[in-house]
Every structure is written in C-alpha cells, then in structure tokens.
Amino acid sequence: MAYDNDNIFAKILRGEAPAFKVFEDDYSLAFMDVMPQVEGHTLVIPKDPTENIHNADPVILGHTMATVQRVAAAVKTAFDAPGIMLAQLNGEAAGQTVFHLHFHILPRREGLEMLLHARQMADFDLLERHAQLIRDQL
C-alpha cells in the first residue's frame, strides 16, 4: 500500500489538523492520543512519510526511538507510573488504524485496565493539561 499523504498524522505534521504536542525535533513529533486508552497515552511519530515498521528507514527509526525513550521517561515521571508499555501496530490485521508509523506510550499501573483501542474521544482541556504535565518533564 502506498503512503497516504492525507492520513491524520500527515495532516498533523503539516499543521492542517490540531494536536496536543509535547515534543518535536527535526525528525520526530510527540503528541497526546486523542482517544487515550489510559491517562497520559502519548504517540511518537517520525516526520518522514513512513507507513509502518517494514518500510521505515533504520536511521529515521533510530531517531524516532530516541524520542520514544525520552518522551517515555517524561510520561513516566509526569504520571508517576510504575510501568510504561510501548505498542506499535503494523497492518490492519494487527489493529493499525492510522497508516503513518507511530509508537504508543502507555503509563501502566497494577489494577488499572486500559480502555478499548481508539474508541472514546477525551476531553480537550484534560488532554492539554496532560500534555503540559509531560512538557514540564522534558
């Protein structure tokens, strides 16, 4: 499948769609998932138009993972999370719904179940507050 320039993350990268951004550098962008599965659910994407792990340039992937590591540490502190789960889905059969490579950062704690994937839109004021908590740690 060819990369679709109109996918929502491409639009966020071009500034055509809004996002609660927490971090950005030359290669990558991190922002809040608008339908979080837990509080603090954050996404990291490469700026390169890459659909999934299979067609990612390893150098771009390296830069993206450096951002994942950095933002995951900030999310962990911001949400006082004992555990951080990373998720990354490739292909519809794996549950991928947005076809621009992305890594999910999910704060986890015992006894707190995750909500269903990409189902319920969060309150935007709350997302902005959560984004600020993470920015404060970066």
Name the nearest CA neighbour of 76 among 40, 45, 112. 40
118 in contact with ligand 5GP (CB under 6 A)? yes
DSSP assigned state of 17? S
| One residue of 23, 31, 79, 103 binding ligand 5GP per CB under 6 A | 31
Q: How many CB atoms lie within 10 A of CB 19?
A: 21
| One residue of 33, 39, 48, 51 binding ligand 5GP per CB under 6 A | 33
Query: CA 126, CA 2: separation in Å to the nearest integer?
Result: 35
| One residue of 19, 22, 29, 38 binding ligand 5GP per CB under 6 A | 19
Alpha carbon 19 to its chain centroid, in Å, reads 11
Stretch that binds ligand 5GP, among 31-39, 52-60, 65-73, 77-85 (CB under 6 A): 31-39
CB-nearer residue toward ligand 5GP: 32 or 44: 32
What's the closest the beta carbon of residue 137 comes to ligand 5GP, in angstroms? 19
What's the closest the beta carbon of residue 96 comes to ligand 5GP, in angstroms? 4
Name the nearest CA neighbour of 61 among 102, 106, 117, 15. 102
Give catalytic residue positions.
102
E-strand stretches of the chain: 21-24, 28-32, 42-46, 83-87, 103-108
Which residues 39-98 are close enough to bind ligand 5GP by CB under 6 A?
A: 89, 95-98
Q: Is the dihedral of CA 25, 27, 29, 30 positive or negative?
A: negative
Residues that bind ligand 5GP (CB under 6 A): 8, 19, 31-35, 89, 95-98, 117-118
